[in-house]
Each structure stands twice: as C-alpha cells, then as structure tokens.
Amino acid sequence: MAKENIQRQDIIKEVKFTIAEDAFEGPFRCCNQLTKKTRKQAHYKGLSFSYEVWRCSKCGEDYLDTQQAKKLEGFWTAQKAFDTFLVEIREK
C-alpha cells in the first residue's frame, strides 16, 4: 500500500473533541463486552513484578489503565537501568 500525501486543502473540516478525564481508566470495552481485571507477572534477572491488566474474556486482549501503565513503565525503566549500567543482583 502506497503512502498518500495528504495536503491541508484535502482536509474536509477540522474537528475538535474533548477526552474525558477517566477515558483511560478501566474497565474497557472489547468484543462488545467489558474487560475484567486480572493479575499478571513479569520476570527479569531475578526480579518479579506483579501488576494488573484489564483482560477481554473473549479474545484475551490485555489493556492497561493509567495507573497500571505507570507502574509497568517503572519496571521497564528498571530493566533499562540494569542493561545500561550492568547492575547485578546476587543472593547471599
């Protein structure tokens, strides 16, 4: 599929909209039903991170709300720090 070059004059009209403050808070709608909160775990170099996702029981798609996305982003930041600075965790 070729990319189209859309020019300003090609735009029919400008549309303004407002996003609700809670637009990124679960439950979310997927497959014509509401998602349900479930726990997941991520593991990295001996660290375990437990977090919640909103999962569609029909297709299995996972969604993160704002709060959980921030927590998971923190875990990914820690992963990056371990990789960048060669940090090791050792058990005694």
85 CB-contact burial (10 Å; exposed 0-12 / middle 13-18 / buried 19+): exposed
Binned at pLDDT 50, 70 and 90, residue 1 comes out as: very low
CA distance 25 to 22: 5
pLDDT tens-place string over residues 12-64: 877 887 877 777 888 999 999 999 999 999 888 777 888 899 999 999 999 99
Tokens 């940090």 belong to 87
What is the third-level CATH fold of 26-85?
Ubiquitin-like (UB roll) (3.10.20)
pTM of structure: 0.62
Each domain of the chain, given as residue ranges in start order, spans 26-85
Predicted local confidence at residue 60, as pLDDT: 94
CA distance 32 to 88: 46
Predicted local confidence at residue 7, as pLDDT: 80
